[in-house]
Chains A and B, each alone.
Chain A
Amino acid sequence: MSISLFDELEKGGYEACLMSTYSVDFPFYEDVLLSKMQSRGIIHHMLFVDKRMCQSTITQRPPNKAGKQYSLALMKCSGAFHPKIIMLLGKNKGLLAVGSHNVTFSGFGKNIELTNIIKFTKKHDEQYLPLFNTAFTALRTWLHDYALQPNSKVQTALTSALEDTLKLAPWLKGHGSDTTEDAALLFSSATTLSLWQQLTPFIPNKSEQIIAISPFFDKSLTFCKTLREKSQSNLIVGLQPNEAVVSQEILSTEGIKVIDSDTINNSEGGKYIHAKAIYFADKYSPVFVNGSANLSAKAWLEQGRSANVEAVLVRNGASAVEVAQLVGITA
């Protein structure tokens, strides 16, 4: 069982799509995703993209439909604008995806990525409505914190485009950041606590074991060392030896055991593992976290304007154990 992001976009019944991403391939977004969604009746589109990444791609593969068929929100951050969220919104239903997938072909169909799909149907499945409200709040917060020119025409137009979404999905409150019984959506921004500060209340003070995978790490392994302090046994870090951007020091750091993440995914090998996840294995308070945040200090520990902007989904209790077993990230 796996999740086809293409299939989800094609299911129909939605009228708006909001996406956030670090890197973007405009021909892929415009000619594949946007076209597919438009053919399914999705008329209102917004794309939130890291400004630096956008500039690096714009000369080679520029957007042709931005401003005409969708609103392009360039997010200017000192760190990286890194969250990968998809919100499909309709009059009576919604779909929220929070994962590691950028809006590129690699992210949607080639890399090994991990995601969470949350569905809402009005009057039937409203249990996870708070997660949708949190996601919308995140987009609104990011637009406020990182849009290019505060109070400019562009800013006003983007704000207006985002608020218009609420008319297409009136069930969305558009504010608040509540959690549910077994899941919470955490996001970081210039005006929020760090991701780690937000996660801390969910996790045990000392987990029996922590297992994590990531393709990127901070140079000093600060975050890995922070994680290690939360584990009763060695922190297990899964990475691809030939691909991971990581200091060699990780191999000799006390309390950290490195494994080849290809053995976790059970894929045929050769594919790039871009997924990021942490499993706090614990008999009493298991927690599974995955989303956009790599095992780096910028992603998890820093706060304010210098930090990365991230979004992760936290699962706790029995569902955390089930997810960890399902994806193979287990003790």
Chain B
Amino acid sequence: MNNHIQTDWVKPTHQIGGLDHLGVHAPCIDIYSQLLPGITNVTDRARYYSFYPWVFWSFQRKGWNDKEQLVKMFRRADCLFTLIAARHDLITEGKTSYSVGTVGKNTLEPKLKELSSEQSLKLSDYAHRNPDDASRYFMSKFGGLSQYYFGVLRDLKLFKGDSIESASVIKETGGEIAKAFDEGVPTELFLSIVENDHVTLADLDKLLPFSPVKLASSNKEKELLTKLLLKGVSPFLKDTSEINTTTDLVSAVARSKTMAYQLLLAKKASDYDHEFNVSLFRKLTYSQSGFELDNLDLPPSLKETTQKWQVYSCSEMLSIALQGVFFAMLQAIKPDLALTNTHELAEYFWNKGVGSTVLDSTNIHNTKDYFIHTFNTLPSLNDWQNDNHELQSVDQILSITSYQTGDTSEKKLVSLINHCLIILIAICVREESLQASENVPSTPEYSSKYPVNLRTVQAKLNNELANQNIVEAMINFTQQYCLENHWRVAMRKLRYQNQNTFRFEASERGLTINAIPSATHTSPRFYQSTQVMKDLGLLSTTDRLTTVTKAGEQFIEAVV
């Protein structure tokens, strides 16, 4: 056949699950990225901030500079570090999990458990890069460094270089931290094992000072890392340094204030014998109130940080509410209804479907009046433990839309829409939410990037649709902010990634469903920041309680 006429079926686009189908996670992620620079959702352990610079620093001293050798030895070192952490777990009989967040743990830990005291484990059996061999500990070329930590360590100015192959440790910062790390560990033994490629249980026992939790007893290293997160690199540098510290300082201030803010909230939780987890963090942050409806009474120097986290929390609430509405509306798409566009779907949903059951219960037709009427039935913002508080609605929405526990009976969907409306109303009417939205940028660039945000939703519902009939307003709002907005987001992904993330589509067959996504939170790096603070000895955990240590108190003092 002539190559210049090709007749064939049109290749369908690659369909994936995707995330953030309404573009409502994105503004939340934008906020916490600014509030916690230097700690990300994949930088689980503080000790990698010193271990990786140390690996480069010690390899250079050893003369392992050849690129091929560097990769080979690096991967063995990365494996060995994880094995040490896993061994630490084993000798404490699983009472603690010292190895949590270490790289390749799921592959290496079972192998370690099989190892007897007479045997040795060959590192390269796991450090290899053969993609067809399931024993490979990690795919990424430089293990956890390339996959998780390099960008962060470079932003923190411990490394320089465009890529890991061309990277080097910055002497005044990464070099100093590497030296401090080196003081507390048996360097020669570690490097000789890496070189000889075999490790025994006895070796691992001798190498326990490398364990991630041993950072707590490596005083100088801990002090330098704490200083780095608190003040950035400025304290490490001499006046003649060529490193630009301006952006670093801004990041350090944002990060340290968030860490201090979290430490203060942890104190509140432990004072009331309450586990400090991300759920509680969200509730305290949103309500700015303690366990006895009291004001959190945080230091004035943390005011801006507190406000920004409140914007995050409000944005999260909005995100969950819109995802909940989206979930319920997509459930309404059925072939026998022959809906052809989003307006028909929105009209059906609020006039005849689940939405009509919810809004039928009131005689108030004006949107503004409906909002105020419903708002007056809600508890005050500080009464966040009240079952009728909008914070409890979040949990309900997550539960109803969950794949595991999800129930899509009409009764549940009515409940779902009720909870979504409660949140939307709280966000649009509460004074604190209106104040929070003042901290949302109003620039055209921001609105273009994040068209669905606190500010735009409040403007739509409180101004543009305020005098409309509530049903008409909901048809208009949900068509635009949920249904069409999803298509806008999916179109953008199709344009840039050639991937089909449409959860529903309009086709010759009318509206059809691909998959209905559950409502989900974003992950505001809470787990990582508290784990880093535990590794640095600023927080300690006993049973389920997290308490602020003396070092943690000193950290707070240094910040506020």
Contact = CB atoms under 8 A, between A and B. Distances in A.
Interface residues of B, number: 30
A27 B487 contact: yes
Interface in A98-117: 99, 101, 104-117
Interface string B488-515: 1001101100101010011111000000
B7 A327 contact: yes
B342 interface: yes
A109 B4 contact: no
B11 A4 contact: yes
A328 B67 CA distance: 51
B12 A110 contact: yes
Contact of A35 (B9, B12, B13, B495): B495
A313 B495 CA distance: 29
Contacts of B343: 60
A116 B5 contact: yes
B361 interface: no
Nearest to B10: A113
Interface string B9-38: 111110000000000000000000000000
A35 B343 CA distance: 26
B6 interface: yes
B502 A115 contact: no
A238 to B, nearest CB: 14
Given A118-B4, A182-B2, A319-B2, A108 B508 contact: no
A204 to B, nearest CB: 20
Given A6-B13, A60-B342, A115 B8 contact: yes
Interface string A239-254: 0000100000000000
A111 B498 contact: no
Given A31-B495, A99-B10, A105-B494, A110 B5 contact: no
A99 B7 CA distance: 9
A115 B492 contact: no
B6 A116 contact: yes
Given A27-B488, A106-B505, A111-B507, A119 B7 contact: no
Nearest to B14: A109
Contacts of A107: 10
Contacts of B484: 61
Contact of B508 (A35, A125, A274, A290): A274
Contacts, number: 121
A323 B10 contact: no
Interface in A1-39: 1-7, 25, 27-28, 31-32, 35-36
A198 interface: no
A6 B5 contact: no
Nearest to A118: B5
B506 A5 contact: no
Interface in A309-326: 313, 315, 318-319, 322-323, 326
B341 interface: yes
A187 interface: no
Contact of A110 (B6, B8, B9, B500): B500
Given A115-B8, A265-B9, A326-B8, A106 B498 contact: no
A78 interface: no
Given A31-B492, A36-B495, A106 B507 contact: yes
Contact of B7 (A27, A109, A326): A326
Nearest to A112: B9
A322 B494 contact: no
B1 interface: yes
Interface in B455-503: 484, 487-488, 491-492, 494-495, 498, 500, 502
Contacts of A323: 1, 7
B188 to A, nearest CB: 54
B341 to A, nearest CB: 5
Contacts of A274: 508
Given A110-B500, A111-B508, A272-B508, A125 B7 contact: no
A319 B1 contact: yes
Contact of B9 (A28, A31, A327): A327
A275 B494 CA distance: 23
A127 B4 contact: yes
A272 B494 contact: no
Given A31-B495, A32-B491, A127-B2, A3 B8 contact: yes
5 contacts: A4-B10, A6-B498, A61-B484, A114-B9, A128-B5
Given A61-B484, A119-B4, 13 more contacts: A3-B8, A6-B13, A6-B498, A7-B11, A31-B488, A31-B492, A104-B506, A111-B507, A114-B7, A114-B9, A117-B7, A243-B509, A271-B12
